[in-house]
Chains A and B, each alone.
Chain A
Amino acid sequence: MRHLLSAADLSREGALELLDVAEEMAATQAREIKKLPTLRGRTVVNLFFEDSTRTRISFEAAAKRLSADVITFSAKGSSVSKGESLKDTALTLQAMGADAVVLRHSASGAAHRLAHAGWSGVGVLNAGDGTHEHPTQALLDAFTLRRRLAERAGGDPARVLEGARVAVVGDVLHSRVARSNVLLLETLGADVVLVAPPTLLPVGVGTWPCRTSWDLDAVLPDVDAVMVLRVQRERMGGGGFFPSAQEYTRRFGLDGRRLRLLPDHALVMHPGPMNRGLEISAEAADSPRSTIVEQVANGVAVRMAALYLLLAGEDAA
């Protein structure tokens, strides 16, 4: 794996391999000594042009547990400006001998540019670019889903997600998590339905490999998992995407009543951070079906696997 920029970069085999490696990584994390020597002497740079403490910490922990040297660079603020040149930063990192860059950036496509503009030869791992993609989030969601569904039904782990029914609910338009999840879940054979007000579905969504619906109540009884997306009010400058927070919650929020529409085994997922009371109620977020805390823990194992395949994959294969 040269770069991980989009969930579409992963074939079915590649995605399953990454999830299997993540299982192995997770197993080591149950041990007393969590640290592995795998990436000793390699340098991973966490380049965060956009604030995201959760993702940054998760990647830092993943790199450190693989014994990599970790340098974290956080640029304050998230605005795109000439003052924070992505190119100059890339050249600096190259000079510093970085082996891989984990990039978080407010501009869609920033990771593509870092990987392909000819500025440096460093491997790039996209940790969220604007409203484009966030592939490791999709991987950790798939990892979590696969584990839970396998615990219940058993069977070949390579096939657990085939035919799994997943509803992705909410602010699809601004969500990099939704884009990556649709692509990865399609690759793994799941059946995805997006549920959102029409204003929060992008023009062109009809060509995505999934179905869409405006009726959450009708969808919930037939799913294995519901992924609730964060309403990204900070990206809704013009406003007017929905009449009011109250109406959004009434029509698209996952509350206690809707929780009871789900099949008994169905999971409740959220990539965090949550707007409690808007897209998800406390009852839903804290219910036994919720995998939200587990998703955070699994994030470290999945990111260990991604870094491992990016940096040590060739040697190991």
Chain B
Amino acid sequence: MSTTDTPAPTGAAGEGAAPPVLVRRARLLGGEETDLLLAGGRVARTGPGGSLEAPDGARVVEAAGLVALPGLVDLHTHLREPGREDAETVRTGSRAAALGGFTAVHAMANTDPVADTAGVVEQVWRLGREVGLVDVRPVGAVTVGLAGERLAELGAMATSAARVRVFSDDGRCVHDPVLMRRALEYVRSVDGVVAQHAQDPRLTEGAQMHEGVVSSVLGLRGWPAVAEEAVIARDVLLADHVGSRLHVCHVSTAGSVEILRWAKARGVDVTAEVTPHHLLLTDELVRGYDPVYKVNPPLRTRADVEALREAVADGTVDVVATDHAPHPVEDKDCEWAAAAMGMTGLETALSVVQEALVETGLLGWADVARVLSSAPARIGRLEDHGRPLAEGEPAHLVLVDPAARRPVAPEQHATQGRNSPYRGMELPGRVVATVLRGRPVVLDGALVGEQPDDAHLGASRGAPHGAAGAS
């Protein structure tokens, strides 16, 4: 890709001030070459490849060979701010998201303080606006302090400036059936959804990895599939009983897929997500005890991976969501039991989806747009995201080079986390450009208008990156 343009105003200028952008010859959803003229934050015109003229002052993005998708929407991101700025901030997480092709992310509530009040969700939302690289939509906690004892003020969060629609105690399960029932009922009044982290706490006390053949050999305490499946089974029945909308986070087992399939066939209003890592990696990787593979829910078996891929292909699982969970190096550079759970994912999600679902023939690019953009936007009630790339629609888009292949180098990621499980793995696809509301925030695979000081923020933890930059 190359770009030519007249110098454009950057920085805090309003979206209306962004100059028009002409994207030329992008393959829309992997189909025909199309020109897209973006102006005023919207898709102003579309036409066959090479048919549109660039207006005066427009930036031209040559996109021959690139696939255009609507900007990606992540339903499950841990931005860590407030409280764990040593792991990630809204700024570094937004940078990672933009570089990964996302134009909106849902920031999980398990911060410190917990996002369980209007004040905290508005703080996160404002930080996201200040950074301005992606739309940061805070998730509100279901219960006060994630303690699972009483409902947080869901209404106040919903009517705050942050307009929260997704509520989750993620990291913990809303285990008390009465509390879960009340939450499901209550969020109906704000058109919200409860996103459940399905994990029976008693069945997973001290659990370290998937319970099965590998855990038996490694002597690590098991996290049985049934601990997830039993909660999902209960919750779909509860949602059915009270007529509520339920979303299931990071589904990880073949059994969960079966329950969801049954629930959807029965007409239950349930949606579900799967993480990229559960679509690609298995518990066999734990054999070396490297905590980069420690995650919750844990990596499962090859049979689970296959079932999850099929479930995305047939729509049983609606969404791929990253569960991006950055951790400082010291929280992973230790023995398995002492290590934190979680993996980074924003900057590798699209590549993993291409590897696991596109290259296997299970999804086309239009399906990728569905599972990574339109479905998560609909579940999160983000009206102006996940829209078709058509005239009059909001100009959020990502341009992907599907022919690129490159090894994953976590040191070069913009997230502060270095805990990528794909280190050294060669993955297909590269995000070339990300456009938010008509404004390119990523071009040529790099953040636009990057100041050295900004770059320092993201690279400060990776000495090798700094060394490479000096050469």
CB < 8 Å neighbour of A81 from B211, B220, B338? B338
Do residues A108 and B336 form an inter-chain contact, with CB atoms below 8 A? yes
Q: Beta-carbon contacts of B274-295 to A below 8 Å, as 1s and 0s?
A: 0000000000000011100000
CA distance A106 to B208 in the complex (A): 14
Select A203's contact among B224, B288, B289, B337, beta carbons within 8 Å.
Answer: B224
Residue-by-residue, is A57-83 near B (CB-CB < 8 Å gives 1, otherwise 0)?
000000000000000000000001110
Q: Is A238 an interface residue (CB 8 A)?
A: yes
CB atoms of B216 and A130 under 8 A apart: no
A112-B219 contact in complex given A80-B338, A107-B338, A203-B224, C-beta closer than 8 Å = no
Q: Does B156 contact A (CB under 8 A)?
A: no
Between A and B, how many residue pairs show CB distances below 8 Å?
84
Q: A112-B289, A204-B213, A204-B214 are in contact. Are A179 and B219 (CB under 8 A)?
A: yes
Could you say which residues of chain B place their CB within 8 Å of the CB of A109? Answer: 218-220, 289, 335-337
Residue of A85, A130, A208 near B334 (CB, 8 A) is: A85
Instruction: Say if the beta carbon of A131 comes within 8 Å of chain B.
Output: yes
Known: A116-B288, A207-B213. A176 touches B219 (CB 8 A): yes
Using A113-B289, A116-B288, A203-B224 as known contacts, say yes or no to A107 and B213 having CB atoms under 8 A apart: no
Residues in B whose Cβ lies below 8 Å from that of A87: 333-334
B336, closest chain A residue (CB): A109
> A115-140 vs B: 1/0 string, CB under 8 Å?
01100000000000111110000000
Number of residues from A at the complex interface, CB < 8 A: 31
Contacts of A80 in B (CB 8 A): 335, 337-338
Hey, which chain B residues are within 8 Å of A205, CB to CB?
Answer: 216
Bin chain B's interface residue count. 20 to 34
- Complex-state Cα separation, A251 to B84, whole angstroms: 52
A105 to chain B, nearest CB (A): 7
**Are A113 and B214 within 8 A (Cβ)?**
no
The smallest C-beta distance from A247 to any residue of chain B, in angstroms, reads 23
The reply on A100 being an interface residue by CB < 8 A is no
Asked if A220 CB lies within 8 Å of chain B CBs, one says no
Instruction: Give Cα A133 to B287, complex, Å.
Output: 13
A204 surroundings in chain B (CB, below 8 A): 211-217
Cβ A132 vs Cβ B215 within 8 A: no
| Chain B nearest Cβ from A270, distance in angstroms | 20
**Interface: B205 (CB within 8 A):** yes
Q: Shortest beta-carbon distance, B320 to chain A, in Å?
A: 29
Q: Are B219 and A133 closer than 8 Å at their CB atoms?
A: yes
A203-B211, A204-B213, A238-B205 in contact; A108/B334 too (CB < 8 A)?
no
Q: Does B222 contact A (CB under 8 A)?
A: yes
A-B pairs with beta carbons under 8 Å apart, 13 shown: A81-B338, A86-B338, A107-B336, A108-B220, A109-B220, A109-B289, A110-B336, A112-B289, A113-B335, A129-B219, A132-B218, A132-B220, A179-B219
| Chain B interfacial positions (CB closer than 8 Å to A) | 205-206, 208, 211-222, 224, 288-290, 333-338
6 pairs of A and B residues whose beta carbons are closest in the complex: A109-B289, A204-B216, A132-B219, A131-B219, A202-B216, A107-B337
